[in-house]
Amino acid sequence: MSGGKRIKKPAFKAKARAAGKATAKSRAKTAARPAEPAMDLAVGRRIRELRREHKLSLETIAAKTDLSIGFLSQIERGLSSPSLRVLATLADVLGVGIAALFGSQPSDDAASGGVVTREMQRAELKLWRTGISKQLLSPAGAEHRLNLFLVHLEPGGNTGDELYTHDGEEAGLVLEGEMTLIVDAETWSLKRGDSFRFASRRPHRFSNPAKDAKAVVLWVNCATQAKPSSRGA
């Protein structure tokens, strides 16, 4: 009997330790979740600010983008996480580059004059549902037409199944991992050291095909519009 009890005690302790680890993991996941909706709220507020600055109604934006008024309202209230395709479409209609949706970061270098962006000052846009995050390497602001990004693609991260278009031109250099780029009807597999450039009006999408490795791409976007678009999306 006593020998049996000695065998059961370690088993009980092992179960307790396993349960404790599971609880800790659960708490860690729960603690990480609030940052995701917080990002959606920040992006939604920025979109609403720009829409109101240009005196555009939700009805007008909906008509120009083929997005429903309800969906647009959810985005502005931070209740829905928009894809990169949706954000690019909204930025296009608002007449700004996608960098304008980042808002601005407080600067501790008043002498930079809008020229320098310190590493700790980078604004970041996390599209957490699609596994894409974009760090803005150039100063934030709706008035800037040329913007530099560091794009991180998690394994399987992608812009969605649909090709999309927007204003301007873009170019990039793969720094780490690999990326699949589709422009029009052509598909390219890009690896570290490969670069690209194309007009953003050409239907395109991109993804990270790897299952266990992140891709990092230095990405340049140059917008050409100077005012909100008057065309349909």
Query: Higher-confidence residue: 145 or 231?
Result: 145
pLDDT of residue 117 exceeding 80 = yes
pLDDT of residue 17 exceeding 80 = no
DSSP track, 107-149: -S-GGGTTS---GGG-EEEEETTTTEEEEE-SPP-TT-SEEEE
The string of pLDDT tens digits covering residues 159-185 is: 999 999 999 999 999 999 999 999 999
* CA-closest candidate to residue 104, choices 63, 164, 50, 61: 50
Strands 146-153 and 169-176: unpaired
Long-range contacts of 194-202 (CB under 8 A, 24+ apart): 195/171, 196/171, 196/172, 197/169, 197/170, 197/171, 197/172, 198/169, 198/170, 198/171, 199/168, 199/169, 200/165, 200/166, 200/167, 200/168, 200/169, 200/170, 201/165, 201/166, 201/167, 202/165
Amino acid identity at 231: R
Structure tokens given for 149? 């990004």
Give the confidence band of 37 by pLDDT, cuts at 50, 70, 90: confident
Strand order across the beta sheet in which 178-183 lies? 186-191, 178-183, 204-207
pLDDT of residue 231 exceeding 50 = no
pLDDT of residue 68 exceeding 80 = yes
Q: What average pLDDT does range 110-116 have in this prediction?
A: 65
Q: φ, ψ for residue 118 (rounded to 5)?
A: -75, 155
Q: Which residues contact 108 (CB under 8 A, 6 or more apart)?
A: 118, 121
Please give the pLDDT value at position 14: 54
Query: Average per-residue pLDDT in the chain?
Result: 82
Q: What average pLDDT does range 86-100 have in this prediction?
A: 89
Strand order across the beta sheet in which 132-136 lies? 123-127, 132-136, 146-153, 215-222, 169-176, 195-199
* Alpha carbons 5 and 132: distance in angstroms, whole number: 53
Whole-prediction pTM: 0.75
- Residue 227 CA to its chain's centroid (Å): 23
